[in-house]
């Protein structure tokens, strides 16, 4: 199983789109809210190249864009 971390902002409509999908499919991932974790913005910039959410880190590799994140879950987590 891959290590999954989803970086997000609470009121971001694209993040909410991913959350709705995860909730619908009952998928659990580690959530990191940019405004609640001091180092999260710096981590995103350093390891992802930009401060943009949602960003799903899969074993340390960033994946941006809500549709791409949802597609990744469809192809790798759903049965």
Averaged pLDDT of the chain:
93
The stretch 19-32 carries a mean pLDDT of: 95
For helices 13-25 and 66-76, give the axis angle rounded to 10 degrees: 20
pLDDT of residue 22: 96
In this model, does residue 63 exceed pLDDT 80? yes
pTM score > 0.75 for this model? yes
Could you give the angle at the alpha carbon of 19 between the alpha carbons of 53 and 59, nearest 5°? 60
What is the per-residue pLDDT across 36-59, written as a single tens digit (0 to 9) for each? Answer: 888 899 999 999 999 999 999 999
In this model, does residue 79 exceed pLDDT 80? no
């Amino acid at each position: 199983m891959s290590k999954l971390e989803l970086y997000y902002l609470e009121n971001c409509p694209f993040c909410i789109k991913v959350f709705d999908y995860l909730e619908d499919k009952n998928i659990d991932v580690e959530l990191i809210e940019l405004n609640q974790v001091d180092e999260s913005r710096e981590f995103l910039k350093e390891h992802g190249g930009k401060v943009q959410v949602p960003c799903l880190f899969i074993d340390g590799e960033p994946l941006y864009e809500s549709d791409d994140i949802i597609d990744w879950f469809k192809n790798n987590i759903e049965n």
